[in-house]
């Protein structure tokens, strides 16, 4: 048996197992679903426990790692998944919306004295408007052209922040206020509403609540008419247009929703770090979040969460290897692309698209051959 056949059989067996779990979940009664949701929420709240620290992050503070990079990457990946995984639009400048949210928190908090909750609403609105401003003139482009424009937008935002003295220039902005604290409310021995410098756990709990709300909204959109329109655009935009789907409107909506999620995360992150500068918003962050979406399985929220967790956690777990930890991380990504090119937990639709040769996210500027295309062609030639 050849190596390619062994890999294919292993991949098919794993896919069959995942499909079986999905079928069982699809027919599960409502009380079982909600029970699992509650258990997962409680498990997320229990993650900062000190007993996990030596195992999960022996070289860094585990609670701090949970907030950044793990929690931050998870929320950003969910937002980018709306654009890339559901609507099939390649966005390489997603870090720009994260920066807009962060600078909204910094400027409105230090210059205007607004509190965190007011700034969170303002940051979401400003980021969504930025997504509309970017998408309005550019979303008629496709594939590589759209990717280049969005990459440029991300660099424009960063360079503007670096060269504008009114918003701190290269020094950035310091003294960003924390969310308002409420003392006397404890959970697992932690004063969960006391936001300060030393304890990152209250910020992590806040992030869990924000992430849960975002997941609920995104799932509702995915199962609605909007989600079906995004899927049609991702699979074949021309066919969707012919069938009467207002593709430009729904693509613009995807950009606005993804941008608002990135902006919300920027506000929460800035309130924890208390100081930001343009170097916090480099292109590499956009590339890393995109890698998390593809690695986990674009279009599938559990897969995207898993991909973001691994992308954020693996470099921290192997920090003791110094510069070699990046090599280990890269090797893991290469192995994944060989054995699971569709991602760890792809949606069925995405896996079908990949088999048809569209890469699972629409044409995106170039056709991608299916994983078994070369093998099938060689076997056909041999016959």
User: Residue 4: its pLDDT value, please?
Assistant: 63
In this prediction, residues 329-351 reach a mean pLDDT of 79
Q: Is pLDDT at 40 greater than 90 in this prediction?
A: yes
Mean per-residue pLDDT over the chain, rounded: 86
Write the pLDDT tens digit of every residue in 54-104. Answer: 999 998 999 999 999 999 999 999 999 999 999 999 999 999 999 999 999
pTM: 0.89
Q: How far apart are CA 382 and CA 239, in angstroms?
A: 36
Handedness of CA 224, 229, 234, 239 (dihedral sign): positive
Give the start-end residues of each E strand in the chain.
173-174, 186-187, 190-191, 275-276
Most confident of 133-147, 149-163, 326-340: 149-163
User: Residue 230: its pLDDT value, please?
Assistant: 94
* C-alpha distances in Å from residue 210, one per residue of 117, 204, 252: 12, 10, 23
User: Residue 375: its pLDDT value, please?
Assistant: 47
Higher pLDDT, 350 or 363: 350
Indicate the pLDDT class of residue 42, thresholds 50, 70 and 90: very high
Indicate the pLDDT class of residue 381, thresholds 50, 70 and 90: very low
User: Residue 1: its pLDDT value, please?
Assistant: 53
User: Residue 11: its pLDDT value, please?
Assistant: 64
In this prediction, residues 135-152 reach a mean pLDDT of 89
Both ends of the chain: CA-CA distance in Å? 18
Q: Is pLDDT at 376 greater than 70 in this prediction?
A: no
User: Residue 240: its pLDDT value, please?
Assistant: 92
Tell me the percentage of the chain whose pLDDT exceeds 70.
87
* C-alpha distances in Å from residue 263, one per residue of 131, 243, 285, 344, 349: 10, 33, 14, 27, 29
User: Residue 144: its pLDDT value, please?
Assistant: 85
| 227 contacts 218 by C-beta, under 8 angstroms | no
CB-based burial, 89-106: b 16+ in 10 Å, e otherwise? bbbbbbbbbbbbbbbbbb
Q: Is pLDDT at 370 greater than 60 in this prediction?
A: no
Write the pLDDT tens digit of every residue in 103-127. Answer: 999 999 999 989 999 999 999 999 9
Q: Give the residue from 10, 1, 2, 93 showing the smallest Cα distance to 335.
A: 10
Q: Is pLDDT at 225 greater than 70 in this prediction?
A: yes
- Cβ atoms within 10 A of the Cβ of 30, count? 7
Indicate the pLDDT class of residue 366, thresholds 50, 70 and 90: very low
Q: Which residue do the tokens 């110094």 mark?
A: 322
- Cβ atoms within 10 A of the Cβ of 273, count? 16
User: Residue 14: its pLDDT value, please?
Assistant: 66
Q: Is pLDDT at 26 greater than 80 in this prediction?
A: no
List all residues 6 or more positions away from 301 whose beta carbon is below 8 Å from its beta carbon.
78, 81, 215, 218, 219, 222
Write the pLDDT tens digit of every residue in 238-252. Answer: 999 999 999 999 999
User: Residue 269: its pLDDT value, please?
Assistant: 97
User: Residue 354: its pLDDT value, please?
Assistant: 65
Q: Is pLDDT at 367 greater than 90 in this prediction?
A: no
Q: Is pLDDT at 361 greater than 60 in this prediction?
A: no
Write the pLDDT tens digit of every residue in 284-310. Answer: 999 999 999 999 988 899 999 999 999
């Amino acid at each position: 048996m050849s190596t390619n056949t062994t890999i294919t059989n292993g991949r098919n067996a794993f896919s069959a197992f995942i499909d079986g779990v999905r079928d069982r979940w699809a027919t599960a009664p409502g009380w079982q679903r909600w029970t699992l949701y509650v258990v997962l929420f409680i498990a997320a709240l229990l993650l900062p426990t000190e007993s996990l620290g030596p195992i999960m992050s022996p070289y860094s503070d585990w609670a701090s790692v949970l907030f950044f990079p793990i929690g931050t990457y998870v929320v950003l990946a969910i937002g980018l998944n709306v654009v890339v995984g559901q609507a099939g639009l390649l966005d390489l400048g997603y870090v720009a919306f994260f920066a807009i949210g962060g600078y909204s928190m910094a400027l409105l908090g230090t210059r205007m004295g607004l509190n965190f909750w007011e700034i969170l609403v303002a940051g979401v609105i400003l980021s969504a408007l930025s997504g509309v401003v970017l998408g309005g003139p550019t979303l008629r482009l496709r594939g590589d052209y759209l990717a280049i424009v969005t990459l440029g937008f991300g660099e424009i935002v960063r360079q503007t922040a670096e060269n504008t003295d009114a918003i701190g220039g290269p020094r950035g902005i310091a003294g960003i206020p924390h969310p308002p604290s409420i003392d006397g409310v404890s959970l697992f021995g932690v004063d969960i509403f006391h936001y300060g410098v030393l304890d990152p756990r209250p910020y992590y709990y806040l992030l869990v609540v924000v992430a849960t709300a975002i997941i609920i909204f995104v799932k509702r959109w995915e199962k609605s008419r909007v989600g079906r329109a995004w899927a049609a655009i991702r699979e074949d935009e021309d066919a969707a247009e012919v069938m009467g789907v207002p593709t430009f409107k729904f693509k613009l909506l995807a950009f606005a929703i993804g941008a608002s999620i990135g902006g919300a995360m920027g506000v929460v992150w800035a309130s924890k770090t208390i100081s930001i500068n343009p170097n916090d918003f480099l292109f590499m962050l956009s590339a890393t979040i995109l890698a998390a979406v593809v690695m986990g399985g674009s279009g599938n929220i559990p897969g995207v969460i898993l991909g973001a967790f691994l992308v954020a956690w693996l470099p921290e777990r192997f920090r003791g290897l110094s510069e070699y930890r990046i090599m280990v991380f890269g090797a893991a990504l290469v192995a994944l692309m060989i054995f699971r090119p569709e991602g760890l937990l792809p949606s069925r639709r995405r896996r079908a698209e990949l088999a048809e040769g569209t890469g699972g996210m629409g044409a995106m500027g170039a056709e991608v051959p299916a994983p078994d295309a070369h093998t099938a062609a060689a076997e056909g030639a041999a016959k």
